[in-house]
Amino acid sequence: MAQAPSDRRQPRRDAARSRQAIVDAAERLFAEGGYEATTVGEVGAAAGLSAGTPAYFFQSKEELYRAVLGRAFGETTSLIRAWRFGETGFEDAVTGAVGSYLDFLAAHPNFVRLVIRDALEGGRSLGALPEHLAAIGEAMPRLVDEQSRGRLREGIDPAHLLLSAISLCWFPMVAPALTRDLGFRADSTEFLESRKQQVLAASLLHLASHLDDRDLGGHSSDTLSLGLLCALLAAAVVLERRGTASASAGGVEAVGGPPG
């Protein structure tokens, strides 16, 4: 008697479900404990499977780790593709991009921890990760096109623009202690919405070629440029100190706890 089509598809569905459970568990464990401290057997157990099951899908821990990062950056690429640069006004496009990116970071704390851990370890995995390069490849042409349309201030480098925008969005997520000391709760909805407005105001005034100081509350371009510079310098100092402390302690626990 012929097997029903639904019965033939069941093992494939189970395999896909098991693989997803493994990647989900690996994302959490790698984010919490780091690459070196996490074993494949622990990932299998956390996924509710046997210790040896991950080896059925991934030939090594490195391959599993790259799959975790690849999935996260694949989601980032999809997010960037939805940005409306070239389809709407510059302000609307920046508003949508900043808002969606901050929402994404807030909703994916493990992604933030994974990227910071990899950065502190010298970026050994991100540099050649196809999904990471694809995300950059989606973002850069949009910014270059905005520049060619004359929508960016003269002298703005699209690559520096992307780096600065990412820094402004990421820093509160990776420095919850400093954010808290300044009187904010990085994990609150109120802070997230306020952060969107602050990043948006700084970005538009600093970048848009057709806005003057009156458009965003009378702040001068020089003042916001200085503020942006200070924020980036503070981020560099904090991350350097965290890297030094982590090296002394033999790990990267400084970024392993829950944000806020």
Q: What is the pLDDT of residues 191-228, one digit of tens each?
A: 999 999 998 887 776 665 544 443 444 443 343 444 44
- 43 with 82, same domain? no
- 71 with 12, same domain? no
Residue 1 domain-assigned (yes or no): no
What is the Cα–Cα distance from 56 to 43, expressed in whole angstroms?
13
- 205 with 114, same domain? yes
pLDDT along the chain (260 residues), means of 10: 52 82 96 92 96 95 94 92 86 90 93 88 79 91 89 85 89 88 90 92 66 42 43 46 47 38
CATH number of residue 29's parent domain: 1.10.10
Residue 43 domain-assigned (yes or no): yes
What is the Cα–Cα distance from 237 to 116, expressed in whole angstroms?
14
Q: What is the pLDDT of residues 85-103, one digit of tens each?
A: 888 888 888 899 999 999 9
- 131 with 37, same domain? no
- 105 with 52, same domain? no
Determine the straight-line distance between the first and last CA of the chain, rounded to whole angstroms.
Answer: 60
- 112 with 220, same domain? yes
Residue 260 domain-assigned (yes or no): no
- 33 with 66, same domain? no
* Structural domains of the chain, count: 2
- 33 with 100, same domain? no
Structural domain boundaries enclosing 104:
62-250
CATH number of residue 98's parent domain: 1.10.357
Last residue of a domain, one of 35, 58, 81: 58
